[in-house]
Structure 1
Amino acid sequence: MKRFFALGLAACLALFAALTGCSSTSEKIRIGEVTRSLFYAPQYVALEKGFFKEEGLDVELSTIPGGDKVMSALLSGGIEVALVGSETSIYVSQQGAADVVVNFAQLTQTDGTFLVARNKTDSFSFEQLKGSVFLGQRKGGMPQMVGEYVLGKHNINPQSDLELIQNIEFKNIASSFASGTGEFVQLFEPEASRFEQEGIGHVVASFGKESGTVPYTVYMTKQSYIDSNPSAIQKFTNAVYKGQQWVASHSAKETAEVIGKYFEQIDPQILENAVQRYLEQGSYAADPVLDEQEWNQLQEIMDAAGELKQRADYTKLVNTTFAKQSKEGN
């Protein structure tokens, strides 16, 4: 029976689909996301709603902690598409990579972290951070660079005006604060909402609102892959755009319900609250187009943090062709 089926399938694929009624196999694309985060809600919606399958893609998602590790997987061929901060493509370019890493579809457009204070206050000002112990993010990463940029806007030098802790691994930052380290901490959702619910800390400011629109998390791939697979990249971008549009047109509760399987350890109400917070501040990009103004803002932030050797060419590291086609075609 198996032999008969295999022979029949082979014969079917050898004929034109219009005559035989057989469809071609799906194109496979492996995504490596830098972390599992509800900040990436449109991606999970696209997976759960079957938007990638509608485009004829078989998508395999894996979580690869650390931007450097994601880039290694991409450059070595372990994945076809990376979901990570745009700054990583600039770092790769600065190192002189022969095969340029190109940003082709933006997923999030603001920083996703919040300033959480251990003690509740009725009237917060950034001046209160002076002299405090601040539990920040990893040096060179986008969250930390944005954090320093925002503090600088409020005339706070993070190196001299407070005690900055940034040697704790990303996955352990929340637990370190919960165990008593620091008076302030920079956290993503849903940890920020969970800490509020449990009385561990209180959200006093949004780094996303303070820093403006930036290409915070973007899908990128090697130029050689784009050259060889432009159709697959277009289909991929179409699916991402469908996910973005779905999230934009549905309630936080509906989105939380769809992506719940990716966050089984998170209380559904906390998940909904966190999604709502991101919706309210416009963190989820409404479309996948990464415009030049956002790119320039990213480099301003990197430059202020001392992480930019030289300005990166927008026309070289960003390709908006696929994103614009997705918008025009939907």
Structure 2
Amino acid sequence: MGLPSKNMSYIPFYVAIKKGFYQNYNLKVNLNYVKGGVLALRGVQTGDFHIISSLPESVITGVAEGANVKLIGTLDDKSMYSIYVSKDIKDPNDLKGKSAASNVPGNGTDIQLQYWLKKHGLEPNKDVRIINSGENAGRLQALQQGQAAVTILSQPTDLKADEMGFKRLAVMRDELKTYNHNMIAANGDLIKNKPEVVYAFMAAEAVAFIKEKANREEVIKIAMEELEMNRADAEKSFDFVLPALPDKGKMNVEGVKWAIDTVKETGALNKELSVEKVVDERFYAK
């Protein structure tokens, strides 16, 4: 499995491995980390990975360009991003004439940041200049060094921004009601030739275990170990992620439609693309 980062949203995978849930279905799952969803998508296309996690926008653009991959579930049915601003910014209007630290154009990170700016009456690259600062760490550094006045961050980098005294101006899930964040995508050949593997992978999900209050301490300890976090940060990240963990990994299809439409609006998608071309919902645990 290819993962584009290390964060609390992947706690179902960590728990499923630690508790032997995959072994119960005769699976051995190896987690491999790559830098970003684009590399993860490339890996699932070349067969280096059977399954990956990615923001939906990367998969949508990939499918439009001929990638043999389908979204089969999600780890979060809400956005995990927050908008952070420099200490002198009081509200979105103060951002006019400033720069925003984003990821590569067309990436889901970039699309959500531009969505937020437009929602607050700011035209990207007109009112606010968009600069490519890469992944979470690079975007936070751009804010820290004064290269940008606003950026978009996910956990656990948001906790570092809090420690540095930057202002969390908005939580995206409060403004973007329909979204899936860290989605699960499978290689099309795997789906076609070995669907039993995909069924087994989804059946071994650990969300029910994680949501059981009696298991909280054990889950926090697994998170601390896997993510190398102290207890306080692990608990904060876990409590932020927990409400967004969908039962059985079930995706919000309206959120996929939103992502397709929004990718199209940015110009990164110049053809019609149906939800059915991107999504396969057969594999949720019974």
**In 1, Cα distance between equivalents of 2:254 and 2:133:** 32
Counterpart for residue 193 of structure 2:
228
Counterpart for residue 214 of structure 1:
179
CA contact (8 A) 2:9 2:76 kept: yes
**In 1, Cα distance between equivalents of 2:232 and 2:147:** 27
Report Cα offsets for 1:83-109 as digits up to 9, x if no partner. Answer: 112222222222234xx2111121122
| One of 96, 111, 130 as aligned partner of 1:164 | 130
**In 2, Cα distance between equivalents of 1:261 and 1:101:** 32
Report Cα offsets for 1:36-72 as digits up to 9, x if no partner. Answer: 1223222222222222122221111101112222122
CA contact (8 A) 2:51 2:186 kept: yes
| One of 102, 105, 124 as aligned partner of 1:139 | 105
Structure 2 residue identity aligned to 1:237:
M
| One of 13, 17, 24 as aligned partner of 1:43 | 13
Report Cα offsets for 1:228-281 as digits up to 9, x if no partner. Answer: 2111111100112xx2222333387653322111211x33212211221233xx
CA contact (8 A) 1:114 1:192 kept: yes
Structure 2 residue identity aligned to 1:112:
M
Report Cα offsets for 1:183-210 as digits up to 9, x if no partner. Answer: 22211112212222x2331212112321
Work out the percentage of aligned pairs sharing the same amino acid. Answer: 19
Matched residue count: 285
Structure 2 residue identity aligned to 1:207:
M
Change (3 A) 1:131 1:256: farther
**In 1, Cα distance between equivalents of 2:129 and 2:217:** 39
**In 2, Cα distance between equivalents of 1:254 and 1:306:** 45
**In 2, Cα distance between equivalents of 1:227 and 1:283:** 30
Unaligned runs of 5+ in 1: 1-30
**In 2, Cα distance between equivalents of 1:139 and 1:150:** 15
Query: SS of 2:111's equivalent?
Result: helix
Structure 1 residue identity aligned to 2:4:
V
What TM-score, normalized to structure 1?
A: 0.79
| One of 249, 253, 263 as aligned partner of 2:227 | 263
Unaligned runs of 5+ in 2: none
CA contact (8 A) 1:134 1:163 kept: yes
Counterpart for residue 95 of structure 1:
65
Structure 1 residue identity aligned to 2:107:
G
Counterpart for residue 116 of structure 1:
84
Q: Which has the greater radius of gyration?
A: 1
CA contact (8 A) 1:116 1:205 kept: yes
Whether 2:165 is the aligned partner of 1:200: answer yes
**In 2, Cα distance between equivalents of 1:246 and 1:53:** 16
